[in-house]
Structure 1
């Protein structure tokens, strides 16, 4: 994927991985728009307000971006929430519903909003962002993992359905990355700069891999194939002891 001289929208790019990726595109010479619910702290990058849980907001943002940038040719959708849940507590259902609204339905809404535009152009890139947790669950975050597994499956089908249109579909699969407080939960989280360095190297290969899997994410992505799934899941389940009453 060429990341220079592109016109890029990154939805969910107001912090962390998204903002870091936006700056990498920008530094490479691309025009970048960052979308999110709160864009007030973003400096030096064009923004658009978008709430992926609100279909009308997604369509308004689409129309605004395309009116300013009819040559838009890259859409990255990565809005996400990561919430701890106690599945023995019935109250967790509200957390589960909000997670699905943002992570899964939000991704689908953004993809749907821009797919027709990219198809009509006959070229472009759609990038979804999942997680290693979508392939090897972290039991403290059950709906987060389920939502990311859902985005993976949706991305696979999207790629199949867009074959031959000129629109390339790429899935970015991060491990734990040291941003948005993840370094407190996981001291082994990959530094953001190192993660982005590796992502850009993989993304700019020709051809671009259908899945961008950095080295730190490989053990999660391929645990089942490698025969390490059960052992790693047991290790990750030990975190459940931190829940009240466990």
Structure 2
């Protein structure tokens, strides 16, 4: 992926990893569009970070995605990179009926949002010689976090969808990349003060170095994510699942 001269749209970019990427890409000389639901927050970001632009988008709403894709095609004809980063991570207890709503919301945003964004924006990306789709999954796609089991399931599905998408687009100019974060110190699942989570700036440093490598890997996996990503292959799956299962008992 070239370091500058891209036009990049990032969903879920009003905080955390998404905002961090937006700021870094903007500083590197790319045109960056942050996308999110809250207009006031989008306006604040464009004020705080000159050069960053914004578009209202709710990835849980199929109509909103279509409208955003049409607006992007009109306003940003040079758009060549879409990063499907929007996601939520909610705890669940399968014995509590209210958890079903949390599970359904997770599927709507994490999985259907990614799929719908891909279908909506691909017609514009395939017209570029350097089109890129980056789907953000999670290290928890490979070993589930039982207390957030639907989150883990949606990210496993995003991984599989991305693998299939890469095969289908192999003959096109669009490259498909999967970003596989570990736990990062953001507000997602209250990890901003978690010493076990990776500092955001360290994650961004390592991620961008991998994205800008030649050739760019099909999976962007920082060192902290590799234990879970390779757990099945290395025989560490049972130990990793036990480790993640213990979180519920300790919290």
2: CA distance between counterparts of 1:78 and 1:46?
A: 17
Indicate the RMSD between aligned Cα atoms, in angstroms. 1.2
The partner residue of 1:209 within 217, 222, 235 is: 217
Once residues 98 and 37 of structure 2 are traced to their aligned partners in structure 1, the CA distance between those partners, rounded to angstroms, is 26
Equivalents in 2 of 1:8, 1:40: separation in Å? 21
Work out the CA distance in 2 between the residues paired with 1:62 and 1:172.
Answer: 22
Gaps of 5+ in 1: none
Count, aligned residues: 242
User: How far did 1:239 drift?
Assistant: 2.1
Matches within 5 A, 1:1-246: 1-41=1-41, 42-43=45-46, 44=49, 45-180=52-187, 181-184=190-193, 186-241=194-249
**1:242 Cα offset (Å):** 5.5
Aligned-pair distance for 1:223? 0.6
* Unmatched runs of 5 consecutive residues or more in structure 2: none
**SS of the residue 2:40 aligns to:** coil
Residues 57-81 of structure 1, C-alpha deviation per residue, up to 9 Å, x if partnerless?
1111111122111011011011100
TM-score (norm 1): 0.95
Residue 197 of structure 1 deviates from its aligned partner by 0.2
For residues 147 and 168 of structure 1, the distance between their equivalents in structure 2, rounded to whole angstroms, comes to 22
Q: SS of 1:40's equivalent?
A: helix
1:55 deviates by 1.1
Mapped to 2, the partners of 1:12 and 1:96 lie a distance apart of 19
- State the distance in 1 between where 2:15 and 2:248 align: 28
> Equivalents in 2 of 1:6, 1:122: separation in Å?
12
Shift of the alpha carbon at 1:3? 2.6
Q: Deviations over 1:187-221 (max 9, x none)?
A: 21000000000001000011100000000000010
Give the whole-Å Cα distance in 2 for the aligned partners of 1:200 and 1:129: 14
